[in-house]
A and B are shown apart, each in its own frame.
Chain A
Amino acid sequence: MLENPNKHIALLGNPNCGKSTLFNRLTGLRQRTSNLPGTTVEKKQGIWATGNLKYTLTDLPGIYSLYTANDDEKVVVSHLLNPVEKRKPEAILFLLNAHSLRRNLLLFTQVAELGIPMVVALTMSDTASRNGKKIDAVKLSTILQVPVIEVNPRKGTGIPDLEHAILQAAIPTINLASESNIHSRLADFHTGKTVPGLHAETLGRYTWIEPVVKEVVSAKSWTRASLTLRMDKLLTHKIYGFIFFAFLMLTIFQGVFTLAEYPMQWIETGFGYLSQWVHHQLADGFLTRMLADGLIPGIAGVVVFVPQIAILFFFIGLLEDSGYMVRASFITDKLMRKVGLNGRSVIPLMGGFACAIPSIMATRSIRNKSERLLTMFITPLMSCSARLPVYVLLVSLAVPAGSRFGPVGLQSLVMTLAYFSGIILAAIIARLFILFRKPGEVSEFILEMPPYQAPRLQNVITHVWHKSRSFVVEAGKIIVLISVILWVLSSYGPGNSMELAESDVYRTHEKTIMPDGKRPSHDELQAYVASARLEASYAGRLGKFIEPAIQPLGYDWKTGIALISSFAAREVFVGTMNTLFLNSPDGEVIAIREKMQKAENPDTGKPRYGVPYALSLMMFYAFALQCMSTMAVMKRETGTWKWPLLQFFLFGAIAWLAAFAVYRISVAFV
């Protein structure tokens, strides 16, 4: 009996037992997600209000057994056993899936020995009985010694009974753990000690379970999988299966790439107006500029990712909820295994071509820790949509439009090569990663393939909401901070150097006559000022400072400034070059390309930004981790700065070497 019901209840069960649906059903949107301490496993908590009683419900990860050394199981065990205040549940709401009662009971018998009051929610018993499999819930309740309530979380039936039963939660008295008790065995197991006879214990539990299942289940013919099997014949077919998969990937890719562009534009325009409005409302000064030009665009830089995240997770939610996701892993597993990944890595890697940020967040479904880490590690090497504008500018510098290589346009060929170099490096790194794998760690697939079902919109929307929110709240902080720093660097210079640069422009242009014979217009003067100010700023100085380091790659200090500022987002490269080449802010790629083409190298008399320059810089952008948002998300998802920093320096070093090689080779040939 639960004496004080104003307490914590843990929701526990196997994967695919309807747990998330029940959680959403009981708590609605009154839920919060946070990372469980010391891990990257998400903890979902919500308030379950029944009449005048309120419970804090914790949705624990779906697991098959307490004895598995993955993060998910560790989290469940520490949540159930650690007597830390506020985390120890007073009761467990345990889900049993009627379709796979035998396997679900294994976890039940383990949890039953922990001495925590339990209530069982029997899910899917209605669909099971429709398929000829009847389960006697009353008998089951007698055997398990806890209340058993038939619940359909999708329809919401059985919830009132559940509200009543939770007050009658009881401690089962089953004890099947061999020799020692389960508490000490679990403690040993999860601190890395060897626990003797684990396999035998599991088999022993099944020996207890088999007669129980025989007792409570009356099955006639067992036909549940037939529709699913027929669909699988098509969806895992060697031709149709891959066609469907490719079609799906293309749809998702288009969604993240194209569909997201509209809301992204609205966000940018909206925040642009907000900046202007702040400038109008407040007196000019450091704080106003900081707010309007630093902070607001920084926040815009975070919010602008939300459409891509939301769209990707909308699709992923549909795929997960419908049961297709597992099939996608199933048909691609063999291929992905060759480079040390598994089938679950496919979606994040594909998503990486649109944007690495939601894709890295999507790796959470990879259960194996090192495979997940590897997938996150190489995802930024997929050329994302932010690299596209940079590639477009550089390709147009390197290759004259209309030139062909056989039947293929040379521009698109070079572009394709840039995309492929990222993929090839990713495969190489993945292969090398396997060498560092801990000995004894085995790659595992063993996967339940749930029957297909119509996805539930509420589950999908909740998923989208949590992903977007956790990105904005957690990774967002870092992104805003760095973008404010970048703004200060490019808007301020040491002492009064900025003012000097500005007045210099006015003085020298007093007598300037433009090529058309007129005096410079106001806009033209403003462009000169912006360019001179950027050159005099800290960022400009930094660009000149790093020039020796990037000179071997064929870059000058202007490229250096653009490289630094494009750390905010890769496409900023084009805008910065625009400013430095005295274009009006809305100047198009054509205009800046012409200016870059005309520029000559004073030492050699050859074009300053010729073919070697463009190819070398494309190489650099294909590899280098030029994206603070990716680093922020890596930090959040891995819980440490170690991995984003390793990516930054490793990819940076490879990018430098590759760009150097490409520059040297093309200088020799062009």
Chain B
Amino acid sequence: MKASQLQSGENARILSITEGPHARRLAEMGCVPGSTIKMAYAAPAGDPIAFEMDGNLLGLRKEEADYLEVEMM
């Protein structure tokens, strides 16, 4: 599944990053295969979404979170 499909409070492990314009930037921010993320909350319009990673919050637009292929934990 994609990270953008996670519901609030759900934990997931990143499996892979889809090739594309945001891929490297996401990796630079620490979203690399193997790391775990938790969907924290979404903005009022449901987009962007804030994810918890290593105890820090990272805000991603839906289209950016679509680049992260994850599995639920």
A contact set with B: CB distance below 8 Å:
64-65, 67-68, 99-100, 102-103, 106, 131, 133, 198-199, 202-203, 206, 210, 222-225, 228-229, 232-233, 236-238, 241-242, 326, 330-331, 333-335, 337, 440, 442, 444-451
Query: Closest CB of chain A to B31's CB: distance in Å?
Result: 9
Chain B residues lying within 8 Å of A222, measured Cβ to Cβ, are 54-55
17 CB < 8 A contacts A-B: A99-B54, A102-B30, A103-B56, A198-B24, A203-B32, A225-B57, A229-B41, A232-B41, A330-B48, A333-B43, A333-B61, A334-B44, A440-B21, A446-B25, A446-B61, A448-B57, A448-B58
Report how far A241 CA is from B61 CA in the complex, Å.
Answer: 18
Tell me the bound Cα distance from A202 to B35 in angstroms.
14
Q: A198-B24, A199-B24, A203-B27 are in contact. Are A242 and B56 (CB under 8 A)?
A: no
* Cross-interface CB contact of A236 among B17, B28, B33, B43, cutoff 8 Å: B43
Q: Which residue on B lies nearest to A237, using beta carbons? A: B44
Q: Which residues of B contact A335 (CB under 8 A)?
A: 45
B44 contact from A106, A242, A447, Cβ within 8 A? A242
Taking A232-B50, A446-B26 as contacts, is the C-beta distance between A334 and B43 under 8 angstroms? Answer: yes
Most buried by A among B27, B45, B47, B64: B27
Is B52 in contact with chain A by the CB < 8 A criterion?
Answer: yes
Would B34 and A210 count as touching, CB distance under 8 A?
yes
Q: A67-B24, A199-B24, A238-B44 are in contact. Are A103 and B29 (CB under 8 A)?
A: yes
Tally chain B residues at the interface, Cβ within 8 Å.
Answer: 33
Whole-angstrom distance between the alpha carbons of A581 and B60 in the complex?
59
Which residues of B are at the interface with A, using a C-beta cutoff of 8 A?
Answer: 17, 19, 21-30, 32-34, 40-41, 43-45, 47-48, 50, 52, 54-61, 64
Q: Please tell me which one of the listed residues A203, A333, A440, A448 contacts residue B48 in the complex, with CB atoms under 8 A apart.
A: A333
Additional A-B contact list (16), CB under 8 Å, known A446-B26, A448-B59, A450-B56: A67-B28, A103-B54, A106-B28, A198-B24, A199-B17, A199-B19, A202-B32, A222-B54, A229-B41, A233-B41, A331-B44, A446-B22, A446-B25, A447-B58, A447-B59, A448-B58
Q: Are A326 and B45 within 8 A (Cβ)?
A: no
Q: Which residues of A contact B27 (CB under 8 A)?
A: 199, 202-203, 206
CA distance A228 to B41 in the complex (A): 12
Q: Please tell me if the beta carbons of A446 and B58 are within 8 angstroms of each other in the complex.
A: yes
Instruction: Assess the A225–B56 pair: CB atoms within 8 A.
Output: yes
Name the one of B19, B21, B50 contacting A449, with C-beta atoms under 8 angstroms.
B50
- Tell whether, in the assembled complex, residue B54 and residue A442 are in contact, meaning their CB atoms are under 8 Å apart: no
In the assembled complex, the Cα of A223 lies from the Cα of B38 at a distance in Å of: 13
Q: With A210-B34, A333-B61, A334-B45 known to touch, is A448 a contact of B29 (CB < 8 Å)?
A: yes
Interface centre among B25, B29, B54 (most CB of A within 10 A): B54
Query: How many angstroms between the C-alpha atoms of A242 and B45 in the bound complex?
Result: 12
Please tell me which one of the listed residues B19, B25, B52, B64 contacts residue A225 in the complex, with CB atoms under 8 A apart: B52
- The reply to whether A65 and B59 contact each other, CB–CB distance below 8 Å, is no
Which residues of chain B come closer than 8 Å to A224, judged between CB atoms?
A: 55-56
Asked whether, in the complex, the Cβ of B28 is within 8 Å of the Cβ of A64, the reply is yes
- Complex Cα–Cα for A399 and B30 (A): 60
Residue numbers in A under 8 Å from B33 (CB-CB): 203
- C-alpha spacing A236/B32, complex, angstroms: 27
**How far apart are A15's CB and chain B's nearest CB, in angstroms?**
11
Contacts of A210 in B (CB 8 A): 34
| CB nearest to A132 among chain B residues | B55
Are A229 and B43 in contact (CB-based, < 8 A)? no
Note all chain B residues with C-beta closer than 8 A to A331: 43-44
Decide: A64 and B44 in contact? CB cutoff 8 A.
no
Give Cα A449–Cα B32 distance, bound, in whole angstroms. Answer: 18
**Roughly how many angstroms separate A242 CA and B60 CA in the complex, as a whole number?**
20
Flag if B54 contacts A100 (CB, 8 Å).
Answer: yes
The docked-state distance in angstroms from the alpha carbon of A106 to that of B21 is 19
From A203, A330, A442, B50 is in contact (CB under 8 Å) with A330
**In the complex, are the beta carbons of A330 and B43 less than 8 A apart?**
yes
CB contact between A446 and one of B32, B56, B60 (< 8 Å): that residue: B60
Q: How far in angstroms is the closest Cβ of chain A from B39?
A: 12
In the bound complex, do residue A449 and residue B59 qualify as a contact, i.e. CB atoms below 8 Å apart? yes
Q: Given A68-B25, A203-B32, answer yes or no on A232-B61 (Cβ-Cβ < 8 Å).
A: no
Which residues of A lie under 8 Å from residue B24 when comparing CB positions? Answer: 67, 198-199, 202
- Decide if A102 touches B60 in the complex (CB within 8 Å): no
Whether B29 contacts A64 by the Cβ 8 Å rule is: yes
Does B29 contact A202, Cβ atoms closer than 8 Å?
A: no
| Cβ A445 vs Cβ B48 within 8 A | yes
Residues in A with CB closer than 8 Å to B56 are 99-100, 103, 224-225, 448-450
Q: How far is the CA of A237 from the CA of B27 in the complex (A)?
A: 29
Q: Which of B28, B40, B41 has the most C-beta atoms of chain A within 10 angstroms of its own C-beta? A: B28
* Distance A333 CA – B3 CA, assembled complex (angstroms): 19
Indicate if the CB atoms of B29 and A228 lie closer than 8 Å.
Answer: no
Chain A residues closer than 8 Å to B59, beta-carbon distance: 326, 330, 445-449
- What CA separation (Å) do A237 and B25 show in the bound complex? 28
Determine if B34 and A202 form an interchain contact, defined as CB atoms under 8 angstroms apart.
no
Distance between Cα atoms of A448 and B40 in the complex (Å): 13
The residue among A210, A229, A330 with the most chain B CB atoms within 10 A of its own CB is A330
In angstroms, how far is the closest chain A Cβ from the Cβ of B27? 5
Given A238-B44, A449-B57, does the pair A103, B30 have CB atoms closer than 8 Å?
Answer: yes
Nearest chain A residue, comparing its CB with the CB of B21? A442
For A103, list chain B residues within 8 Å (CB): 28-30, 54, 56
CB within 8 Å for A442 and B22 given contacts A102-B30, A331-B43: yes
Please list the 5 inter-chain residue pairs (A to B) with the smallest Cβ-Cβ separation, ordered nearest first: A238-B44, A449-B57, A334-B45, A103-B30, A447-B59
Residues of chain A within 8 A (CB-CB) of B64 are 444-446
Which of chain A's residues has its CB closest to B38's CB?
A225
What is the distance, in angstroms, from B12's C-beta to the closest C-beta of chain A? Answer: 16
A residues near B60, Cβ cutoff 8 Å: 445-447
Contacts of A206 in B (CB 8 A): 27, 30, 32
In whole angstroms, how far apart are the Cα atoms of A440 and B20 in the complex? 11
CA distance A518 to B58 in the complex (A): 78
A450 to B21, CA, bound (A): 25
A440: chain B residues at CB < 8 Å are: 21
Q: How far is the CA of A510 from the CA of B27 in the complex (A)?
A: 85
How far is A65 from B23 in the complex, measured between Cα atoms in Å?
A: 14
Give the distance to chain B from A82, nearest Cβ to Cβ, in Å: 23
